[in-house]
Amino acid sequence: MLWKDIIIFILVAYIVSRFLRFLLPILRVTSAASSQMRTMQEQMQAQMKEMERNQQQANKATFQKEPKQGRPKDEDYIDYEEV
């Protein structure tokens, strides 16, 4: 009976070790990929926020420019026929 228990224990330990050798690398790769994806998403969100800020600043700068001067006075123009 003792030998039977030892053999079963060794067999179960072998199966568990094989299973873990297969499963642990998969779990590591999965966790590494998810953390890398999370990092990329955070970087993209930061870039999007920065682009929005830059766009808002550009819009403010556009509206804050000096108003365009209207058409120059008539004396500033030279008629084509006069040249």
Query: Domain for residue 18, yes or no?
Result: yes
Q: Is residue 23 assigned to a domain?
A: yes
Q: What is the pLDDT of residues 16-31, one digit of tens each?
A: 999 999 999 999 999 9
Among the listed residues 37, 61, 57, the one whose alpha carbon sits nearest the alpha carbon of residue 49: 57
**Does 63 fall in a domain?**
no
Q: How does pLDDT run across 38-82, given as a tens digit for each residue?
A: 999 999 999 999 999 988 888 887 777 655 555 555 566 666 665
Distance separating alpha carbons of residues 67 and 16, to the nearest angstrom: 78
The answer to the question of residue 71 being in a domain is no
Can you give the residue range of the structural domain that contains 17? 11-47
For the chain, what is the domain count?
A: 1
What is the pTM (predicted TM-score) of this model? 0.51
